[in-house]
Every structure is written in C-alpha cells, then in structure tokens.
Amino acid sequence: MSNWLADLIAKTGAIPFSKWMELALYHPEFGYYTSKENIFGTRGDFYTAPGVHSVFAETLAEYVWNCWQETNDQAPLRIIEMGAGNGKLAQGIIRHLTDTYQLSTSQFAYVIVEHSQVLARMQQQTLESWQSYVTWAHTFSEIPPCDSVVLTNEVLDAFPVDIVRKMNDGWMQKWIDWDPSPSAFREVWRELQDMQALEYMETMQAAVNEEKQETFPYEWNRGMPKFVHDVDRVVRSGLVITIDYGGDAEELYGLHHPLGTVRSFFHHQVSNDVLANPGQRDITADVDFSCLERLAQAHGWIRERYETQGRFLVHAGILNRLQDTFRQPYDDAARKRNMAIKHLILPGGMGDAFRVAVHRLPLNRPSSEESACF
C-alpha cells in the first residue's frame, strides 16, 4: 500500500492525516481492516475484552437485559453493534440471552453494522449457530428506526482523526506528503480550516488550561459527529453503550500526552511511527469522551454512566460470576474465568485503561436535523 499512497500523493499533493488514516485502515483493496485477516488474538496485532473471556459478553448482556426490562419490557429487544470485529462479543451476548431467557427471534434481534467484508465473513462463521437472530448492514442508513440498544467496543478509536495544534500562526493541521528523496512520507503543517474542529479546539484548550502560544497535539475525531447523528436517527428510544480506551479532554491533552495519543499496533508491539507500513498495522487514537458528551448533549441524549471499565463491570455484576476454586482447585475453566475477571476490572490493565459511557435516548428529544454539534 505504500507505493499506492506514494503515487496518490505524487499526483494530488499532500493529504490530511485523517485521509491517510482512513485509507490505511479502510481502503477497499489494501486497507488494514478490509484486507488483513489475522488481526485478533495472540497471532494477530491486538486483543479485545471479548477475546479475554466470554464472561465480558455475559456481563454486558445481563446489564443490557436488565436496563431494557426497566423501560421497554413490552418491546422486543434489538441490539445494534457497530464494528463487531471477529464476532466474539455478539456470540457471547446472543448465547447468554437466548440460553438464559429462551428468547425467540420475535423477541430478540441482533444487527451488526460492518463496513469490512473480510470481518463480516469472519462474523458469519463465528455466529453460524445463531444466524436466525442476526442481520448485517453496511451502514446505519440501511437500518429502519426502532427502539434499540447500540453497542460499540473499541470502534471509535479507529475512526480517522485530524491532528491539530496551536502554533504562532494559529491553529494548524497535520498533512502527509511524499518526499521522493529519500523516498519517504513526511508530515507538513497547514492552516486548520474546518470550523467545527476549530470551535472544539478552542473549547478544549480552555478546558485543559493550556493558553500558551504553542500547544501539544489535539486530535479531532472526524467520524464521531456522523456516528452520533446516525445513531440518533436509528434509535427511536433506548441506550447507547460506548466502550473504548480514552478519557476526558483533561486526561488526554497537554502534559499527559505531549506527543498525542495516535499510535500503531503490529504483533502486539506499540509504535508512535504511524506512517510505516500502511495497511499492515492498526492505527488508533484515544477516544475523547468530552467530545462525545458534547455531541450527545446536543442531540438530547442523557448520560447515565461514565466510568472506568472496571467500575462498570463491577456495577453490572461481574463479581457474581466468580467461581469457587477453593473447593475445586483443579477446575481449570473456573480458574481461567476468575483470572479473566481480574484482568478485566483491576487497575493497571483493561480495568482503568478503558472507559464506558452509557447514554439514554429518550423518545421526545430534538431531531437530528435540529441538533447543533456544540
């Protein structure tokens, strides 16, 4: 893919970093998520919480079911998962709900929004035993409005971002150019002209008390406004559960991350060199939950929870799923389950690296067309 990108830039000129990231991850032929198959688990580049143990999906499924029963007990449950990866989270949720509550296809449906055909095929294989419950959509626009619960787990971090910073000449944006000698990609800085991004950058600079002439990098998630708008159109009433690594603006910017949070993963090794080997490595950025909250509020969403993954899972009852290994010390399955719970909730790992935001979407809220961004 490097040669393809070099030819593109040679013909059209430098491109914004967000465009670079979009092409590196989602190009139909060469993109990381659209062409590379072995990206999950020990043989891949990273692993996610559903891959640690099915107890993650079981706990999330029970939380969703309990929330649904409180407010929509007469309506069929429809779960929409965007970017379902290898299908492990969907598999665990569907298996738990159908086994525990004996739900029929008229009582429960699972919709997966998946852009990658490679991943959709993988999901279909994983969910072969439950395909009567599952449908696939390429985009949210294919889904009719209905009461729903929307789930994302490590999805928003893979939305393309623009990297911006305030310099002496004002707010500048990183672009990627091609230098034929020494045949390498290089970064250049140009004036930021996106007014929506500029407005948010000014707001965040004040929030983190960074008033210097030159600032550390900020990251503007270009896909987040559209994501919120699309979900708002599809969900008549219900919940949106966002699980990802990141934090508030105060946590992400300034001295906490002087180089920003954009990084790449390859064979479980993290690198700040995100221009190397495009299409062969994952590129990701921490999710700015302050930005998500501003967009959510503008659409009339109500935040019910925002906390670390560890606190959320404890609230959702994951400790009730611990198994007694004292009486059965050689029960390997129970030991693995307990170790997974520890890994998912304790500080120093997934427990505090990830955040969970839960928003309720009331029936009577401003329409998407009426909602401003900030």
* Residues 185 and 49 grouped into a single domain: no
Residue at a domain's end among 219, 236, 261: 219
Pairing of strands 269-271, 287-288: unpaired
The pTM score is 0.93
Are 180 and 282 members of one domain?
no
User: Which of 35, 36, 29 lies closest to 5 in space, CA to CA?
Assistant: 29
Instruction: Answer yes or no: do 244 and 144 share one domain.
Output: yes
pLDDT attached to residue 214: 64
Q: How far apart are CA 1 and CA 26, in angstroms?
A: 12
- What are the start-end ranges of the H helices in the chain? 2-12, 17-26, 32-35, 49-52, 55-71, 88-101, 117-126, 195-207, 224-234, 249-252, 289-298, 309-315, 332-345, 350-353
**Domain around 59:** 32-159+223-370
Q: Check whether residue 255 and residue 111 sit in a common domain.
A: yes
Domain containing residue 268: CATH number? 3.40.50.12710
Domain boundary among 188, 203, 219: 219
**Whether residue 55 is found in the same domain as residue 139:** yes
Q: Is residue 21 part of a domain?
A: no
- The reply to whether 90 and 120 lie within a common domain is yes
Look at residue 26 and tell me if it is in a domain.
Answer: no
Q: CB within 8 A of 369, min separation 6: which ones?
A: none
- Establish if 18 belongs to a structural domain: no
Answer whether 325's CB lies under 8 Å from 334's CB: yes
Pick 199 or 263 by higher pLDDT.
263
Kindly state the average pLDDT of the residues 4-27: 95
| Total of domains in the chain | 2
| pLDDT at position 160 over 90 | yes
Considering the domain architecture, whether residues 83 and 105 belong to the same structural domain is answered as: yes
- Say what the pLDDT of residue 325 is: 67
Q: Are residues 347 and 303 in the same domain?
A: yes
Q: Which residues are CB-contacts of 284 (< 8 A; sequence separation ≥ 6)?
A: 157, 158, 262, 263, 264, 265
Which residues lie closer than 8 Å to 129 by C-beta, 6 or more apart? none
Residue 147 shares a structural domain with residue 173: no
End-to-end CA distance of the chain: 37
In a domain, 77, yes or no: yes
Percent residues over pLDDT 90 in the chain: 72
128 and 6 inside one domain: no
> Would residue 23 count as lying in a domain?
no
Quote the CA–CA distance of 171 and 9 in Å, as a whole number: 23
Quick check: is 81 in a domain?
yes
373: pLDDT strictly greater than 50: no
Same domain for 240 and 144?
yes
**Sequence-distant (≥ 6) Cβ neighbours of residue 231 within 8 angstroms:** 140, 150, 240, 361
Q: Are residues 92 and 150 in the same domain?
A: yes
Helix axes of 195-207 and 289-298: crossing angle, nearest 10 degrees: 120
Q: Single out the residue in 219, 241, 258 at which a domain terminates.
A: 219
Q: Using one digit for the tens of pLDDT, what is the confidence trace for 316-372?
A: 999 999 987 666 665 788 889 999 999 999 998 899 999 999 999 998 887 655 444
Residues 6+ apart with CB under 8 A from 233: 140, 145, 368
